[in-house]
C-alpha cells in the first residue's frame, strides 16, 4: 500500500495523483466510518 501511494504521489501525472488521492480518501473513510 505504501509503495503504491509513493509511486502515485511521486508521478508527474496529475490525473493519476488525483485518482490516488480519491482512492486514499475513500480507503480512509471506509476504515474509519
> Can you give the pLDDT at residue 25?
80
> Can you give the pLDDT at residue 31?
63
SS (H, E, C) the chain: CHHHHHHHHHCCCHHHHHHHHHHHHHHHHHHHC
Q: For the chain, what are the domain ranges?
A: 2-32
Name every residue whose Cβ is closer than 8 Å to that of residue 20 and which is 6 or more positions away in sequence. 4, 5, 8, 9
What's the CA gap between 26 and 11, in Å, rounded?
Answer: 20
Rounded to 5°, the CA angle 17-23-28 comes to: 125
Q: What tens digit of pLDDT does each residue of 1-33 get?
A: 555 656 666 667 778 778 877 887 877 777 665
> Can you give the pLDDT at residue 7?
63
Amino acid at each position: 500500500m505504501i509503495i503504491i501511494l509513493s509511486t502515485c504521489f511521486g508521478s508527474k501525472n496529475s490525473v493519476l495523483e488525483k485518482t490516488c488521492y480519491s482512492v486514499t480518501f475513500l480507503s480512509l473513510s471506509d476504515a474509519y466510518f
